[in-house]
């Protein structure tokens, strides 16, 4: 089974319920033609780089799916026929995949990302707490600008001691 990715832009004047129904319809076309949905990613409303069919904003959707060439052709045929679709682009991501393995990989990646975000948030909160308590986490010699301040102080001392010698 091949892995495809199709990104399409829906008109904003359709309304949320019609947009959701369109997305479900395209997912069902994939399933009906023997494909499997790996991931549906709704990017939401975004500004367009240039007006398309009089629209300045669009609702972006990314379908990641497994199937054969006929599956992708059927999706593109239906995207062309749909009045609510402003633009679309389909690409072949991988020639041979196992959709279940790809879904498992994506889920593991999401879990690792969430754990990394939580750790970063905890570190940021700890730094804010120590800063609020008046404890400086960085030693003076490691603080940014400390070396420049010391050099500037040395220069001032040299200049004043040089003036009195003449």
- The answer to whether residues 106 and 119 belong to one domain is yes
Q: What is the pLDDT of residue 3?
A: 92
Write out the H or E segment, with its range, that includes residue 151: helix 146-163
- The answer to whether residues 44 and 26 belong to one domain is yes
- The answer to whether residues 86 and 127 belong to one domain is no
- The answer to whether residues 102 and 79 belong to one domain is no
Domains held by the chain: number: 2
Q: Are 53 and 14 in contact (CB under 8 A)?
A: no
- The answer to whether residues 55 and 121 belong to one domain is no
- The answer to whether residues 81 and 105 belong to one domain is no
64 - beta bridge partners?
5, 39
Q: What is the pLDDT of residue 81?
A: 94
**Maximum Cα–Cα distance for the chain, whole Å?**
96
| Token pair listed for 123 | 């570190």
Distance CA 62, CA 39 (A): 8
Distance CA 123, CA 118 (A): 9
Distance CA 74, CA 4 (A): 13
- The answer to whether residues 57 and 68 belong to one domain is yes
Structural domain harbouring 59: 2-96
- The answer to whether residues 79 and 45 belong to one domain is yes
CATH number, position 6: 3.30.70.60
Q: Tell me, yes or no, whether 66 lies in a domain.
A: yes
Distance CA 64, CA 113 (A): 20
Helices (H), 1-140: 16-32, 69-81, 99-132
Q: Tell me, yes or no, whether 107 lies in a domain.
A: yes
Q: Tell me, yes or no, whether 11 lies in a domain.
A: yes
Q: Which residue bears the tokens 């500004």?
A: 47
Per-residue pLDDT of the chain (166 residues; tens, 9 = 90+): 999 999 999 999 988 999 999 999 999 999 999 899 999 999 999 999 999 999 999 999 999 999 988 999 999 999 999 999 999 999 999 888 777 788 888 888 888 888 888 888 888 888 888 777 765 555 555 555 555 555 555 555 444 555 454 4
């Amino acid at each position: 089974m091949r892995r495809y990715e199709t990104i399409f832009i829906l008109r904003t004047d359709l309304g949320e319920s019609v947009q959701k129904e369109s997305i479900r319809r395209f997912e069902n076309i994939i399933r009906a033609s023997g494909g499997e949905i790996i991931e549906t990613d709704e990017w939401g409303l975004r500004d367009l780089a240039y007006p398309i069919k009089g629209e300045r904003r669009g609702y972006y959707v990314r379908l990641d799916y497994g199937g054969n060439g006929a599956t992708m052709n059927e999706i593109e045929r239906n995207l062309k026929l749909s009045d609510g679709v402003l633009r679309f682009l389909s690409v072949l991501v991988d020639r041979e995949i196992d959709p279940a393995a790809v879904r498992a990989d994506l889920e593991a990646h999401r879990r690792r990302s969430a754990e990394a975000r939580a750790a970063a948030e905890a570190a940021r909160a700890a730094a804010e707490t120590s800063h609020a308590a008046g404890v400086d986490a960085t030693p003076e010699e490691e603080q940014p600008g400390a070396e420049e301040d010391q050099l500037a102080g040395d220069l001032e001392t040299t200049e004043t001691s040089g003036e009195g010698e003449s």
